Amino acid sequence: MFRDRVAGRPVVAGVLALALSGAALAGCAAHRAAPAADDADGLPHTTVQVSLGRCGTGWSHPRSGVQVFDIHNASDAPTEVDLIDPRTQAVYGEVEGLGPGTTRPMQVTVGGGSYAFKCLPDDADAMTGGTVTVPGHAPAGPSAPAVSEQDVIPATIAYQKWIGGRMTVLAARAGVLKGDIDRGDLAAARRDWLTAHLVYETMGAAYDTFGAADGEINGTTAGLDGGVTDKDFTGFHRIEYGLWHGASAAALKPFAARLTADIGALRRSWPQARMDPLQMGLRAHEILENTVQFELTGRTDYGSHSNLATAAANLAGTREVLSGLRAQIAARYRALPQLDASLARLSGTLDGVGHGGHYPPLDDLSRTRREQLDAAADDAVERLADIAAIFDIRRTS
C-alpha cells in the first residue's frame, strides 16, 4: 500500500532540494576576494540580495568553480530564487520558499558562460536580474530546462490509459484467485495469488490516485491496532496471510469476495479519475524507493516470501513510467545512459537470483547476493532522485 509505505520515511522534498542545488542541477556561483574565515565549508561565498523590484544583486566578481551564493530575501514576501541560463532558461540551482528576512545557501558549480538570477515571489510576477558573464571555458555543471505541466500531460494521459488496461488484467486474475478459494483449491490459490498480486505491483505510479482503494486492495497492517486480525486488514496481504498460515477456504472466502469487489469498483471509477501530471517524475522515484524500504527488507512479507518477485514487478512499473517521460528526460538529463545502465544492472541482479521468473525467499540469499542486490537498487533509487528533481514542476512566470 503506497500510503502505508511512505509513512515515516524522509520527505522527498529534501531529496529534491539537495539534488537541485548539487548533483542533479549543479550550477553557477560567485565569490568574495577570498573565503571568509567563518566559511567552514572552505568554499567562496557571495551574498546575493533579492527584494521587491530587484533580483540577484551583489554578484560582482564572477569566476568558475564550486561556490556558494548566500541568498538573502530583503523583501516582505516569500520567494523562490533560481540560477538560470538567460538564453535557454535552463535551471542550474534553486532555493525554494525563502522567507522574508532570511538567508539560505545555494551551492553550485559554474563554467564559462552567461548566468542570471530569476526571482519568483509569492503573488507577484517573476523577475530576472542582470546577466553576468563568467570568463573562461570551464565546463558548467548539469542544468535542466524547467518542466511545465503541459510537458507531462501527454505522458500522464498515456499512463492512465495503460493503468486502465492493467485493471482489466488485474480483475481477471483476481477472479481466478477467488474461484480457487471458492472451490477449496488452496494450492492453486497460492499460485494464483502471486500472479494477481504482481499485476497490482506494476501499477505503482497510480496508487495515490487510487485513494482509499489502494489500502483496501493492497494494504498492510501498518497503523492497525489489531494487526493481522484487525477488521480493516483486507485485500491481497490479508489473503496472503491466510493462505500461508493455515486458514481454511471458508475463512478466506469473504476476503476473496471483498478483493474482487474492491478491484471491480476501482476499475469502474477509473475512467473518471484524473492523475496529477505534476507527480509523474516523483512517482518514478518513489516506486523503487519503496521497493528498497519494504520489499528488500521483507517488511511486506505475510508468508508468501515473494518480495523479490514484487521487486521485479516494481522495476517493470518504474520502467513503464519512465518510458512515457523519456523524450522529456533525454532533453534535460545528460546522465540518462547511466540511469538506463543502473536499471539494467538491477534487473540483471534480480534475474541472477531468480529462475524463469521464480525467486527464492530473501532469507535464502547469501550475504554477498543481498549486498549486490541492495547496492544495485540503491544506485537506481539515487539516480531516479535526479528525475524527481527535474520533474519538480516550478514556476516560470
Instruction: Name the one residue in this structure whose C-alpha cell is 524522509.
Output: 10
Q: Which helix (H) or strand (E) holds 133?
A: strand 132-134
- pLDDT tens-digit profile of 29-39? 333 333 343 46
Residues 361 and 303: their CA atoms lie apart, in Å, by 10
Question: What pLDDT was estimated at residue 332?
Answer: 87
Q: CA dihedral defined by 17, 20, 21, 22, rounded to 10 degrees? A: 110
Look at residue 75 and tell me if it is in a domain: yes
Same domain, 255 and 305: yes
Question: What pLDDT was estimated at residue 147?
Answer: 84
Same domain, 356 and 253: yes
pLDDT bucket at 141, cuts 50 / 70 / 90: low
What b/e string do you get for 214-227 counting C-beta neighbours within 10 Å, with b at 16 or more? bbbbbbbbbeeeee
Look at residue 17 and tell me if it is in a domain: no
- pLDDT tens-digit profile of 91-112? 888 898 999 999 999 999 999 9
**SS3 for 207?**
helix
- Kindly report the pTM of this predicted structure: 0.79
- On whether the CB atoms of residues 194 and 244 are closer than 8 A, the answer is no
Residue 149: CB atoms within 10 Å: 11
Same domain, 120 and 68: yes
Look at residue 396 and tell me if it is in a domain: no
Looking at the chain, the whole-number percentage of residues with pLDDT higher than 90 is 77
Residue 199 has pLDDT above 90, yes or no: yes
- On whether the CB atoms of residues 390 and 146 are closer than 8 A, the answer is no
Residues 19 and 22: their CA atoms lie apart, in Å, by 5
Residue 53, sorted as left (phi over 0), alpha (psi -120 to 50) or beta, turns out to be left
Q: Which helix (H) or strand (E) holds 45?
A: strand 45-51
Amino acid at 276: D
Per-residue cell: 303: 508468508
Q: CA dihedral defined by 278, 108, 343, 361, rounded to 10 degrees? A: -90
Total residue length of the chain: 397
Residues 377 and 373: their CA atoms lie apart, in Å, by 6
- pLDDT tens-digit profile of 337-387? 999 999 999 999 999 999 878 999 999 999 999 999 999 999 999 999 999
- On whether the CB atoms of residues 4 and 222 are closer than 8 A, the answer is yes
Question: What pLDDT was estimated at residue 145?
Answer: 79
Look at residue 318 and tell me if it is in a domain: yes
Residues 71 and 49: their CA atoms lie apart, in Å, by 6
Same domain, 252 and 363: yes
Residue 228 has pLDDT above 70, yes or no: yes
Same domain, 259 and 358: yes
Look at residue 320 and tell me if it is in a domain: yes
Look at residue 96 and tell me if it is in a domain: yes
Average per-residue pLDDT in the chain? 88
Nearest by Cα to 7 from 374, 385, 317, 290: 290
Question: What backbone phi and psi angles, to 5 degrees, belong to 77?
Answer: -135, 145
Same domain, 94 and 185: no
- What mean pLDDT is predicted for residues 128-150? 84
Same domain, 255 and 349: yes
Residues 333 and 314: their CA atoms lie apart, in Å, by 23
Same domain, 137 and 165: no
Same domain, 34 and 178: no
What is the domain-level CATH number for residue 258? 1.20.1420.20
Of 121, 141, 161, the position where a domain reaches its end is: 141
- pLDDT tens-digit profile of 115-133? 999 999 998 889 999 999 9
Amino acid at 264: G
Residues 213 and 45: their CA atoms lie apart, in Å, by 50
Residue 253 has pLDDT above 70, yes or no: yes
- On whether the CB atoms of residues 95 and 133 are closer than 8 A, the answer is no
Amino acid at 88: T
Residues 306 and 239: their CA atoms lie apart, in Å, by 14
Question: What backbone phi and psi angles, to 5 degrees, belong to 385?
Answer: -60, -35
Residue 216 has pLDDT above 70, yes or no: yes
Same domain, 131 and 211: no
Of 141, 166, 194, the position where a domain reaches its end is: 141
Q: Which helix (H) or strand (E) holds 258?
A: helix 249-269
Instruction: Name the one residue in this structure whose C-alpha cell is 524527481.
Output: 388
Question: What pLDDT was estimated at residue 39?
Answer: 63
- pLDDT tens-digit profile of 59-79? 999 999 999 999 999 999 999
Look at residue 395 and tell me if it is in a domain: no
Domain count, the chain: 2
Nearest by Cα to 261 from 230, 209, 217: 217
Residues 154 and 142: their CA atoms lie apart, in Å, by 26
Of 110, 141, 172, the position where a domain reaches its end is: 141
Residues 189 and 186: their CA atoms lie apart, in Å, by 5
Residue 60 lies in domain: 26-141
Same domain, 350 and 372: yes
- On whether the CB atoms of residues 99 and 54 are closer than 8 A, the answer is no
Residue 377's Cα: distance from chain center in Å?
13
Question: What pLDDT was estimated at residue 23?
Answer: 36
Per-residue cell: 67: 561556490
Question: What pLDDT was estimated at residue 329?
Answer: 94
Look at residue 16 and tell me if it is in a domain: no
Residue 5 has pLDDT above 50, yes or no: no
Question: What pLDDT was estimated at residue 142?
Answer: 64
More confident residue, 140 or 145: 145
What is the domain-level CATH number for residue 53? 2.60.40
Give the DSSP letter of residue 293.
I
Same domain, 178 and 132: no
